[in-house]
Structure 1
Amino acid sequence: MNLALLFDADFIDADRARLTGRRRTHLDTVLKAVEGDRIPVGRVDGNMGTGEIVKLTDDEAELIVTLDTPPPRPLPLTLVLAMPRPKMFRRVLQTATALGVKDLWLLNAYKVEKSYWQTPWLTEEALADNMVLGLEQARDTLMPKVHIRKRFKPFVEDELPGLVGEHPALVAHPGTQTPCPTHLNQPAVLCIGPEGGFIPYEVEKLQEAGCQAVHLGQRILRVETAVPVLISRLYDGCL
């Protein structure tokens, strides 16, 4: 936890907040914090700053907070991601959040098993918990938006063209002729398939919606590796 993220419910006054649960435990187990110490804090969807620990008990920490620093600029990226295997999904979500992705669309695809959609990691609470971990890691406060689409064709035909608009739109697809571009300075859409990739029909539909197929070279990467590699290749600002 490189940043203690504060929610509205944590505030007991305009400049005072309480940390409980995991965040309170972190002060002891990792930071070894004591009263009088200052720690990095940030308010969800607001500014960052510091919190001075003015009271410390076994169950909670009370802070006087100063929030005077804006969070990092979001990446201007819309990430369309075929639903990964559940045990991988948590890591992918945390990584994408830490890199600055604020608009994430989870999509069904032919190689996505139906059971993936039953995972408890897709509950609203679990999504929020994992995005908080990503924000804390990166020292960010802006919570991403997650959209779930369990039908591939309606999304690609009816919604994706509107997301693409006039922006660059890419689908990661090994074996294509075009390498993934670098150093983008404008909004873009990036589509990443499941383990095993999108099938040819899906790639064709994505291309019809305005996406260009691109590759990262001859190596085939796991989704959890491909996501940060592709994002960092596209945008210098996430590094």
Structure 2
Amino acid sequence: MNLILLFEDDFVAPARARLNDRRYRHIRAVQQPREGDTLKVGLLNGATGHARVLRVDDLCIELETCLDQPPPAALPLTLVMALPRPKMLKRTLETIAAMGVKKLCLIHSYRVDKSYWSSPLLAEDAIREHLLLGLEQAGDTLLPEVSLHKRFKPFAEDELPSIATNTRALVAHPYEAAGCPVATLEPTTLAIGPEGGFIRYEVEKLQQAGLTPIHVGSRILRVETAVPVLLARLFPPL
């Protein structure tokens, strides 16, 4: 935990927060602060800064906060991703949050098992939990927006064209594709397929929506590996 994320209901007075949950247990066990020590904190969807430890005991920790810094810059990206296996979804949510993605569209695909859509990991609270872990890792506060799209064709035909308009619109596809473009900070729409990739019909639909197929080499990568590789190639360090 490189940043302690605070929520509005943690505050018992202006600039004074009290924690007694997972964050408190982590601080007590790992950071082991004493009264007067400072910790790095941030308000969810707000500023970052530091907090001075006012009190720490067996029940809670109280912090005096100073939130005076902006969070890290976000990637100018809408990530469109075929729903991965539940185990992989957890890691991927944490990765995209840590890397600065702020808009994620999870979509269906021919090679996505329909049972994945029944996973409890798609519950709003479960998605939020893993996004928060990613933010804590990266020292960020801005929670990504995640939307679910269970039907590929309506999304590709009715929603994706407007998402991709006026962006660098790309689909990661290892076959019949151009090399990955150079890193820039221009607004980007990026689609990443499931294990095994998008089928030809889906690639054609994505192209009709304005997306251009690209690749990052001849190696076939798992989704959890492809996501950070592609983001690192498409955007300069922020």
Give the equivalent residue in structure 2 for 1:58. Answer: 58
Give the equivalent residue in structure 2 for 1:40. Answer: 40
Give the equivalent residue in structure 2 for 1:97. Answer: 97
TM-score between both structures, scaled by the size of structure 2: 0.98
What amino acid is the match of 2:62? E
- The Cα of 1:38 is off from its aligned counterpart by 0.5
Identical aligned residues as a percent: 53
- The Cα of 1:182 is off from its aligned counterpart by 2.1
Q: Which moved more, 1:99-108 or 1:19-28?
A: 19-28
Q: Structure 1: how far apart are the matches of 2:171 and 2:60?
A: 46
Pair 1:187-2:187 in alignment: yes
**1:2 counterpart SS class:** coil
> 1:121-168: per-residue Cα shift (whole Å, max 9, x none)?
111111111111000000000011000000000000000000011211
Q: Is the 8 A contact 1:75 1:237 kept in 2?
A: no
Pair 1:153-2:140 in alignment: no
Q: Rate the CA distance shift 1:177–1:148 in 2: closer, same or farther, 3 A.
A: closer
Q: Structure 2: how far apart are the matches of 1:80 and 1:16?
A: 39
- The Cα of 1:35 is off from its aligned counterpart by 1.7
Unaligned runs of 5+ in 2: none
Q: Which moved more, 1:115-124 or 1:150-159?
A: 115-124
**1:78 counterpart SS class:** strand
Q: Is the 8 A contact 1:156 1:206 kept in 2?
A: yes
Q: Is the 8 A contact 1:104 1:146 kept in 2?
A: yes
1:69-80 matched pairs, under 5 angstroms: 69-80=69-80
Q: Structure 1: how far apart are the matches of 2:182 and 2:60?
A: 46
TM-score between both structures, scaled by the size of structure 1: 0.98
Q: Structure 1: how far apart are the matches of 2:9 and 2:85?
A: 33
**2:170 counterpart SS class:** strand
- The Cα of 1:214 is off from its aligned counterpart by 0.4
Q: Structure 2: how far apart are the matches of 1:59 and 1:209?
A: 55
Unaligned runs of 5+ in 1: none
